Amino acid sequence: MRIVIYALMPLLVLLAITSNACLLAYLIAWGMDDPSLLRKLIIRITQISLLLSIYPLMRTLKLTKEDLGLAEKKIFISQLLRGFGLGILTLLPIFIVLYLFEINVFDDSQPWSVGLVLKKITIALLLASLIGIVEEMVFRGMLLAGLRRNLPVIAAVLLTSTYYAALHFLDSKSPVSAANFSLLTSFQLLIEAFINIFNPDNTAAFCALLMVGIFLAVIRVNNKHSLAVCIGCHAGWVFQIKMSKSLFNTNPNSEYLAIFEGHSGGILGPLATVWLAVLVVGYIFYKKNQSAGE
């Protein structure tokens, strides 16, 4: 029962944040007389609210920087760089496989130049850094630290990773027009978004993102003050995904597409799930042997 209560607490917080986002989004869209903005406003307000909730929730849960896994500035920067390198190395084999099996094909339709490539690299780095910082502070920082206080480590890791994966599918595609625009419509979009999490079409991608969360959480719980490593690793993954989308197109005629198809253009699918699971198991065995040797 205790596990169930603590497992549901993050969901209750998320429901409160998204419900508030529905109300604010409706008022803003109504004030701007543009119903088509409703869905995007709900998403953006939810994202901003999650970011702004980090500090208040830290104070409420009485979490310190050390509890989150934040190291001092000099070590933090070093960990960021090492984490970024880890992200590049761990996901690179997947991109190589997708290229060799001709699932990802080079986009030769764009007028490539040094300036264009540098521009895409800069944008990808900025977005990757922002995503890495926000998502790791929320999930491998605040949420994992809060759950570890009250639950076994394995339960905390699995719950954190499940919430992390689920949040990527919290979305609704239903169009909103003047004819169906109302406060009720705003909450209907929210209900559809939560239902979308359980869409069977998302199963392969959900498993991959779940394993992403487990991989990062295992690093976090096995290394004190290692949140920056998780941030860097996450940023390294996002950077590669965004650069891959810029440089390559998904080949719809590939006979192997169905095997690897998943989230982010096939990158986060069955291949990523298996590969990251192998890395997690290998890392756990390495840490156990290291502890036994000491």
Judged against a pLDDT cut of 80, whether residue 260 lies above it is answered with no
CA pseudo-torsion sign 60, 64, 69, 72: positive
What global pTM score does this model have?
0.90
Picking from 242, 217, 240, the residue whose alpha carbon sits closest to that of residue 229 is: 217
Q: Are 63 and 142 in contact (CB under 8 A)?
A: yes
% of the chain beyond a pLDDT of 70: 96
Q: What is the pLDDT of residue 262?
A: 58
Q: What's the domain range around 253? A: 2-293
Q: What is the pLDDT of residue 15?
A: 94
Q: What is the pLDDT of residues 64-99, one digit of tens each?
A: 888 999 999 889 999 999 999 999 999 999 989 888
Chain centre distance of CA 232:
13
d(CA 234, CA 215): 10
Number of domains in the chain: 1
Q: What is the pLDDT of residues 21-78, one digit of tens each?
A: 999 999 999 999 999 999 999 999 998 998 888 888 888 888 888 899 999 988 999 9
Judged against a pLDDT cut of 60, whether residue 264 lies above it is answered with no
Judged against a pLDDT cut of 70, whether residue 266 lies above it is answered with no
Judged against a pLDDT cut of 70, whether residue 190 lies above it is answered with yes
The DSSP secondary structure of 90-131, one letter per residue, reads: HHHHHHHHHHHTTSEEE-TTS---HHHHHHHHHHHHHHHHHH
